[in-house]
Homo-oligomer: A and B are copies of this chain.
């Protein structure tokens, strides 16, 4: 019965005994030692190993070698922005193609990054990554930093560890250029105040205008919220700004939103005002939080955060396949064209 063969745990020892060879020979046949070995012996060994469904005990191997086939992932604030977990999924997926699994641990309000890193280290992972749920600068304790091989969606201010982040400036440039290509010329920007993504996107916004030789209308780059930080709780300025913008003459032909949640609010206000999207005013945004963006009416044109690509690239680096070449590697957003622009 084949099932039973797979069930019973089979060790190098079993294979060695059945074949009348030593344990070391079997070990060598299955991994390294490729050159110096009778091809025939190796064939026999491999065949039997397959038949018995041999799986090396990675814990034993880990102890011997001091490394487990793991990526330690220390993630900050999984609570707040769950959709960034696409990074985790992608890292898991890509990691597997290099034979690595993921041990994940959450840190945040109640738990320091240092504690998370220490926990990860105890499993002797091949590499440790620190990830945040939105793009930001962090300053990690030196002690922790020494064990971190890569930061994802953030960079340490010391720049002593390679980082992978989304390319916010590119994203803003590209969406603005797309507006221009669509014949839009008067773009208002309801940006996210107080966060890194916001200021970088604003930079790209201005750059694109400059390149095209189009002036940014005064007073049309506005904060979507009152608080310094963009949180669920900060009071929204969207209704006030949109109402004011719609009263102006000429009024904007496009509202660029700091993210899809801002866009969700913008839709609400425009709806109430009877302004048609995109006939009267186009709307575009950042993130591609698909739950929102696809379901809005009309569906929202937005720059998709490259979370999946970031995870893939991170796995490459962590597996040591294709090391980081720059301190901060910026991954481009992708334009998702829907009906709102």
Contacts and interface: CB of A to CB of B under 8 A. Distances in A.
A86 B82 contact: yes
Interface residues of A, number: 50
A109 to B, nearest CB: 11
Interface in A94-113: 96, 101-106
Given A105-B92, A295-B264, A78 B85 contact: yes
Interface string A115-143: 00011001110000000000000000001
Contacts of A6: 143
A85 to B, nearest CB: 5
A268 to B, nearest CB: 5
A186 B314 CA distance: 53
B63 A59 contact: yes
A199 interface: no
Contacts of A46: none
Interface stretch (A162-170, A204-212, A249-257, A285-293): A285-293
A220 interface: no
A241 interface: no
A34 interface: no
Contacts of A59: 59, 62-63, 68, 123-124
A294 interface: yes
A30 to B, nearest CB: 15
Interface string A68-90: 10100000001100110110110
A16 to B, nearest CB: 19
A22 interface: no
A93 interface: yes
A68 to B, nearest CB: 6
A58 interface: yes
Interface in A213-249: 232
B119 A101 contact: yes
A227 B60 CA distance: 50
A312 to B, nearest CB: 14
Given A85-B78, A122-B58, A232-B295, A102 B104 contact: yes
A60 to B, nearest CB: 5
Nearest to A307: B82
A79 B86 contact: yes
A103 B120 CA distance: 11
A296 interface: yes
A120 to B, nearest CB: 8
A235 B119 CA distance: 46
Nearest to A261: B295
Contacts of A292: 264, 291-292
Nearest to A67: B59
Interface of A: 3, 6, 55, 57-60, 62-63, 68, 70, 78-79, 82-83, 85-86, 88-89, 92-93, 96, 101-106, 118-119, 122-124, 143, 232, 261, 264-265, 267-268, 271-272, 289-292, 294-297
